[in-house]
Amino acid sequence: MQIYLPIADLPVNVFLVLGMGLAVGYISGMFGIGGGFLMTPLLIFIGISPAVAVATVSSHIAASSFTGAISYWRKRALDIALAMMLLSAGIVGTATGVWLFTELRALDQLDLLIGLSYVTLLTIVGAMMIYESVRAIIRTRHGMPATLRRPGSHTWLHGLPFKLRFKRSKIYVSAIPVWAIGFIIGFIGAIMGIGGGFLLVPMLIYFLRVPTATVIGTSMVLTLVTMASATVMHAATNHLVDAVLALILMVGGVIGAQFGARTGQKMRGERLRLLLGLLVFAVGCRFAYELVVRPDDLYSLRYVMGG
């Protein structure tokens, strides 16, 4: 069944898009991530322009992270104070990202920026996750406990001023790295059309020593608010959010996420991280291939506003 997308200006098969929503939702539920880094490339692949894909996916991620955040809220695995602190910087980051997105679109370099950010971010983060999880798996094989390095060692981050106490996460850290992380996630999310969950979770664990109990719930709140505001800002400045496409993706996404979460809970943590690492790395390599290999067509068209 074909349906015409009013903003993307092309017809798509409803079941294909719904299936993509389900599949990405399943993966996102399994790993506790937004799944934007998979959805955006898939939409581009079926012919939707990168700009519309990035803008629309942000609303899809808002929906799936809201579902996630509610269930973590019920389990009381959510640090509101920390989330609010990250958010205050996250919004500024998103606004900066949307502004840069608009500027680069006018200069014809948006596709390049999206491609380059995917390559660098995904290959590096993917490789790090693979390395970390393989080591954890080897250690459990040798009978050693697979615990991460215990947070206790103080780094230079703990010497910074403006210290704050976050009760639920039981941490006492400076506001500066919290703001920096919030800004980076908001900025990257707006440009790449990703929630940034797969980046935020390791950052919170390694830099701020947030315990695993509250980390995913807190990251989901941040993702929810940055993506909801990215939707509004993209719609207000670039007029590129396709509500019909977003609706189909959301419906598939939230259903898939529920089943994915059940599968994820049955798997061992380090196995799950290895799988996610491989997936992230593979998507990064796919983008690298596209940038380096001579494209089939050197020319492309872009409709200039007006006329």
> In terms of C-beta density within 10 A (0-12 exposed, 13-18 middle, 19 or more buried), how is residue 14 classed?
middle
3 state DSSP class of 145: coil
Q: Compute φ and ψ for 4, nearest 5 degrees.
A: -90, 125
Indicate which single residue of 88, 108, 140, 263 sits in contact with another protein (rule: CB under 8 A).
108
Binding segment toward another protein, per CB under 8 A, in 31-39, 62-70, 157-165, 188-196: 62-70
List Cβ neighbours of 289 (8 Å cut-off, separation of 6 or more). Answer: none
Binding segment toward another protein, per CB under 8 A, in 138-146, 148-156, 229-237, 263-271: 229-237
Taking CB under 8 A as the rule, does residue 60 contact another protein?
yes
Taking CB under 8 A as the rule, does residue 174 contact another protein?
no
Output the smallest distance, CB 108 to another protein, in A. Answer: 5
Decide: 185 and 191 in contact? Cβ < 8 Å.
no
H or E stretch covering 180: helix 175-192
> For residue 231, what are its two tokens?
């939707």
Taking CB under 8 A as the rule, does residue 102 contact another protein?
no
Taking CB under 8 A as the rule, does residue 20 contact another protein?
no
Output the smallest distance, CB 5 to another protein, in A. Answer: 9
Number of residues engaging another protein in binding (CB under 8 A)? 61
Write down the residue that tokens 């389900």 correspond to: 22
Taking CB under 8 A as the rule, does residue 28 contact another protein?
no
**Alpha-carbon gap, residue 84 to 175, rounded angstroms:** 12
Indicate which single residue of 16, 71, 139, 177 sits in contact with another protein (rule: CB under 8 A).
71
- Which residues inside 275-294 make contact with another protein, applying CB under 8 A? 291-292, 294
**Alpha-carbon gap, residue 99 to 117, rounded angstroms:** 16
Output the smallest distance, CB 137 to another protein, in A. Answer: 30
> For residue 148, what are its two tokens?
């991460």
Indicate which single residue of 144, 160, 243, 282 sits in contact with another protein (rule: CB under 8 A).
243
Indicate which single residue of 142, 154, 161, 303 sits in contact with another protein (rule: CB under 8 A).
303
> In terms of C-beta density within 10 A (0-12 exposed, 13-18 middle, 19 or more buried), how is residue 45 classed?
exposed
> For residue 57, what are its two tokens?
């996916």
> For residue 210, what are its two tokens?
């947030």
CB burial readout 75-107, b (16+ within 10 A) else e: eebbbeebbebbbebbbebbbebbeebbebbee
Indicate which single residue of 38, 53, 62, 136 sits in contact with another protein (rule: CB under 8 A).
62
Indicate which single residue of 28, 40, 49, 67 sits in contact with another protein (rule: CB under 8 A).
67
> In terms of C-beta density within 10 A (0-12 exposed, 13-18 middle, 19 or more buried), how is residue 284 classed?
buried
Taking CB under 8 A as the rule, does residue 296 contact another protein?
no
Taking CB under 8 A as the rule, does residue 304 contact another protein?
yes
> For residue 105, what are its two tokens?
């679109």
Which of residues 111 and 270 has its CB atom nearest to another protein in the complex? 111
Binding segment toward another protein, per CB under 8 A, in 88-96, 145-153, 201-209, 221-229: 221-229
Taking CB under 8 A as the rule, does residue 266 contact another protein?
no
Q: Which residues bind another protein (CB under 8 A)?
A: 1-4, 6-7, 9-11, 59-60, 62-67, 70-71, 108-109, 111-112, 116, 227-229, 231-237, 239, 241-244, 246-247, 250-251, 254-255, 257-258, 291-292, 294-295, 297-304, 306-307
